Structure 1
Amino acid sequence: MQSWQPTTTHEARVARAELLRTVREFFYNRKVLEVDTPLLSNGTVTDEHLEAFDTQFNFSTSGKPTQLYLQTSPEYAMKRLLCAQSGSIYQVCKAFRHEGEGRWHNPEFTMLEWYRVGFDHFALMDEVDTLLQEILATEPAQKMTYHQAFQTYLNIDPLIADGQTLISAMQQHNIDIHQPEALSNDSKLQLLFSCVIEPQIGSENPCFIYNFPASQAALAKLSPVDNRVAERFEVYFKGAELANGFNELSAAEEQRVRFEADNQKRQASGLVSKPIDQNFLNALAVGLPPCAGVALGIDRLLMLKIGASHIQDVINFPVSRA
């Protein structure tokens, strides 16, 4: 195959078009508004595990060169629309993450993101499950807490386990990494989850894992029942992490503190601090309505729908051919 050619078949391209039509009909029938937001922004994610592409804009109205970022997700801009009383919204767009190519990842990919006003994370999990049943013809999904998953598959309480307990579990399961003691407990937990738990869940039907540790809250509210956990969920199916969702945090100052803490973690890890999205925080200060939101990878969903073994089978021109 010559490098100018697409890596997809015509049948895969037809399947993508049909999937997108199904998605749009799904939200149209639920009166969820389709929106469009910028891919370039002055702010970006501060999460130490995410890296954004950046570029210099030389024609800013300020007269000075400006650093802009390709968005890893449309989340901040969509929440600004929610604060402007948009009501429930969704978007299908390109997203960009500065990570290596792999079976499940291309640096440029297609994301479906939606926000449901008046939903909590349980109601949104049910809606995600309904969408997956419609597109993939799955049976109703399994649901378990993060705590239950660690106790079931590792016999560890992730909310109280110390570093040495986690290192011992890593050694027991042959997770060989240089200087594991230098990793944060969250990084150790993530390694154990991806290497031990993920391969054992979601093989027959999708599996939702919810109520992650508060230290992994990202943009989710903390649970009013147990403030050690955040109202966040992820869904896994046949080896793929398909979606990440939150009962959305609406407190502007708490969100600022989390962003600043992220940058402190980045500095401690030798990474560059990222600019906090002030427009997003200003919008939160005006008021985000109670809502839950989720981001779902369209390319991965299409892989599962047509039985593709690699993401390049569903993307016309992956980065190596872009």
Structure 2
Amino acid sequence: MKKKIWKSSASIEDLIKRSNIISNIRLFFSKKNILEVETPILSRSTVTDVHLTSFETNYISSDNIDELKLWLTTSPEYHMKRLLASESGSIYQICHSFRNKELGRYHNPEFTMLEWYQPFCSMKKFIKEIDIFLQIILKCNKSDKVSYQDLFIDFLKIDPLCANLLELHQISKKLKLDHLTHSENNLNKLIQLLFTLKIEPNIGKEKPLFVYHFPAEQASLAAINSKDPRISERFEIFFKGIELGNGFYELIDVNEQKKRFIRDNKERRSMNLPIRKIDNFFLSALSYGLPPCSGVAIGLDRLIMLILNKKSIHEVIAFPVDRC
């Protein structure tokens, strides 16, 4: 019998459960008086991040004369930070985000994101807030916390903040990864590869784990630690070997942010990737003044997948890309 791919990949029963989980999430934020916001899915700019591939489209005027290139947002981050600079206070959003070249057990090109920002909140305090959220929504035990550096030392007996290329290639060979790493001479990329393949699948097995103080080279939009310039105020959340979320004590220095965007585009050029126009609306918001704040992006489909004990996010999405 021909497979009924017109039907939802998630059962109606699970879609009802999904709806209830999202209602509980909204209730959590409502009780904390955190404002729910909506920002555009279409944007005039996109991210410079070399690891993300955006979808692009065009707006065409009714007279077919004017055309404007637009992008589907990879996350609502830039728009939400513009609201923070407008003195919105604490905000959250549940929305669809879009990332090309991402499909698999934990990925769909269109997915649901929970993004949450808390002004005047340190990374350490914000991690405690998210931990409470996870205990309520996931009905799990209190999380563990560990630094990126300590995790590497525990699992691979190597310090990622001090390691050189020779040491990293030696550990890669020992772990039988040299077929993937032998030609790689970028220190940071080797460290990320080791983390992704040999550490990430084995952490947060029994309860969520917050990994904090990622290397400064992986700071993205996070601030650099004031006491140790080798590390950033970035954290990730893992549960049952799956990355659930990525968070920062946010970078608010407009000049540093612009430097990072320029550096991204230089790396794009070296990798033969398209150069991306820098989002000047976002930089203008930073220039006006973003309050000191922490933020996190949580993959809602993954969260729901774990709550419902499913093996793939496609089991909790009505119509993933093969059925849309």
Class of the TM-score when normalised by the shorter of the 2 chains: over 0.9
Whether the 8 Å contact between 1:163 and 1:181 is mirrored in structure 2 is no
CA change 1:61–1:240 in 2 (3 A) is farther
Superposed displacement of residue 99, structure 1: 2.2
Superposed displacement of residue 207, structure 1: 0.6
Superposed displacement of residue 100, structure 1: 3.2
Find the counterpart in structure 1 of residue 237 from structure 2: 235
Deviations 1:85-116 (A, max 9, x none): 10010000000111231110111000000100
Whether the 8 Å contact between 1:43 and 1:69 is mirrored in structure 2 is yes
| Structure 2 unmatched runs, 5+ | none
Whether the 8 Å contact between 1:300 and 1:311 is mirrored in structure 2 is yes
For 1:236, give the aligned amino acid. F
1:98 aligns with 2:106: no
Find the counterpart in structure 2 of residue 143 from structure 1: 145
* RMSD (Å), alpha carbons: 1.6
Whether the 8 Å contact between 2:169 and 2:178 is mirrored in structure 1 is no
- Other structure's SS at 1:229 match: coil
For 1:263, give the aligned amino acid. N
CA change 1:74–1:180 in 2 (3 A) is farther
- Other structure's SS at 1:181 match: coil
1:121 aligns with 2:149: no
Q: Which moved more, 1:296-305 or 1:136-145?
A: 136-145
- Other structure's SS at 2:155 match: helix
Whether the 8 Å contact between 2:169 and 2:181 is mirrored in structure 1 is no
Deviations 1:63-89 (A, max 9, x none): 542221111100000000000010010
| Structure 1 unmatched runs, 5+ | none
Find the counterpart in structure 2 of residue 165 from structure 1: 167
Superposed displacement of residue 225, structure 1: 1.1
Superposed displacement of residue 176, structure 1: 4.6
Identify the match of residue 22 of structure 1 among 21, 24, 31.
24
Identify the match of residue 90 of structure 2 among 73, 88, 91.
88
Superposed displacement of residue 194, structure 1: 1.1
Find the counterpart in structure 1 of residue 277 from structure 2: 275
For 2:164, give the aligned amino acid. D
* Percent of residue pairs bearing the same amino acid type: 45
Whether the 8 Å contact between 2:34 and 2:92 is mirrored in structure 1 is yes
Superposed displacement of residue 3, structure 1: 1.5
**TM-score, length-scaled by structure 2:** 0.96
Find the counterpart in structure 1 of residue 293 from structure 2: 291
Find the counterpart in structure 1 of residue 306 from structure 2: 304
- Other structure's SS at 2:75 match: coil
- Other structure's SS at 2:247 match: strand
Superposed displacement of residue 174, structure 1: 1.8
- Tell me, in whole angstroms, the C-alpha distance in 2 between the residues paired with 1:123 and 1:280: 26
**TM-score, length-scaled by structure 1:** 0.97
Superposed displacement of residue 178, structure 1: 4.6
Greater than 4 Å deviation, 4+ residue runs: 60-63
Superposed displacement of residue 58, structure 1: 2.1
- Tell me, in whole angstroms, the C-alpha distance in 2 between the residues paired with 1:114 and 1:235: 14
CA change 1:171–1:283 in 2 (3 A) is same
- Other structure's SS at 1:151 match: helix
Identify the match of residue 49 of structure 1 among 48, 51, 58.
51
Deviations 1:36-78 (A, max 9, x none): 0001111111111111111122229995422211111000000
Whether the 8 Å contact between 1:175 and 1:195 is mirrored in structure 2 is no
Find the counterpart in structure 2 of residue 224 from structure 1: 226
- Tell me, in whole angstroms, the C-alpha distance in 2 between the residues paired with 1:253 and 1:204: 42
Superposed displacement of residue 164, structure 1: 2.2
CA change 1:301–1:183 in 2 (3 A) is farther
CA change 1:2–1:291 in 2 (3 A) is same
Find the counterpart in structure 1 of residue 8 from structure 2: 6
Whether the 8 Å contact between 1:44 and 1:69 is mirrored in structure 2 is yes
- Tell me, in whole angstroms, the C-alpha distance in 1 between the residues paired with 2:166 and 2:47: 31
Deviations 1:10-43 (A, max 9, x none): 1210111111111101111111100000011111
Whether the 8 Å contact between 1:167 and 1:181 is mirrored in structure 2 is no
- Tell me, in whole angstroms, the C-alpha distance in 2 between the residues paired with 1:227 and 1:267: 27
- Tell me, in whole angstroms, the C-alpha distance in 2 between the residues paired with 1:289 and 1:305: 34
CA change 1:259–1:62 in 2 (3 A) is farther
